[in-house]
A = this chain, B = another copy of it.
Amino acid sequence: MATGRNHRPATSRSRGIPEATVARLPLYLRALTALSERSVPTVSSEELAAAAGVNSAKLRKDFSYLGSYGTRGVGYDVEYLVYQISRELGLTQDWPVVIVGIGNLGAALANYGGFASRGFRVAALIDADPTLAGRTVAGIEVEHADGLEQIIADNGVSIGVIATPAGSAQQVCDRLVAAGVTSILNFAPTVLSVPEGVDVRKVDLSIELQILAFHEQRKAGEEAPEEEETAPPAAPPAAAVTKKRSEPGPDGDVPAVMPA
């Protein structure tokens, strides 16, 4: 069950743009769109980099992968760059998206206006709960999970969003993939196993918070060096160790780090 085999399948780099650059293009696009709305005709790499929160050299190198549509001494034409990046990201076409799992999060996503703004269209909302089916969320009728495959096929959906509980995520994922979905955005806290050629990106709130907590603890530990961080307390892991095996000695004791 869920062997967890994902090799980061080739991703891009087929004949061009590095993955790190692809991840920044939406950032540039957003900044450029804002400039466009303010009718700014051109921007320098320095200005745009500041707006996107990146290094200007990095930005220039990123754009060079697209073919570099800049003018030396002047900068980049905003409108033209907006179009070029949009085209590169595939936003000039319409991407129908299904959301599976219309609970707290799924409903919020359905109500989110940020979808339609950039080429994404919520084609269907799907949930396994029979009492939800037929209800309308964000002006779209929730359909029962039984018709998942048909919905995917009818709408030519290739991008799916999973917002079900973790326990159902792999199963939903399998059905989506079998029905033809090749890109998945996963909000459930699970590692999804997918065949090669299917892209999975995850959004995981818990992980983000835990990373923040780590740094937070680090900061606190640096401020107050004599706290309880460095000092190895004899306090055992509470109810952590259920069946204490043949522990060589250190329980909450000295870390016993003995480099070879």
Contact = CB atoms under 8 A, between A and B. Distances in A.
Interface of A: 2-6, 11-12, 14, 22-23, 25-27, 29-31, 36, 39, 41, 50-53, 67-69, 77, 79-80, 82-83, 86-93, 95, 97, 104-105, 107-109, 111-112, 114-115, 117-120, 158-159, 182-185, 189, 191, 193, 197, 199, 201, 203-219, 222, 237-238, 240-245, 247-248, 255-257
A4 B52 contact: yes
A4 B201 contact: no
Given A215-B11, A255-B67, A39 B242 contact: yes
A88 B214 CA distance: 7
B211 A83 contact: no
A206 B77 contact: no
Contact of A240 (B31, B41, B80, B89): B80
A31 B79 CA distance: 47
Contacts of A31: 191
21 contacts: A5-B50, A12-B215, A12-B218, A14-B218, A30-B206, A51-B191, A77-B241, A79-B237, A79-B243, A79-B244, A79-B245, A83-B240, A86-B237, A93-B217, A95-B213, A104-B112, A107-B108, A109-B205, A114-B189, A159-B216, A184-B212
A216 B29 CA distance: 18
Contacts of A80: 237, 240-241, 247-248
How many copies of this chain does one complex carry? 2
A116 B95 CA distance: 36
A178 to B, nearest CB: 17
A94 to B, nearest CB: 10
B213 A185 contact: no
A225 B29 CA distance: 26
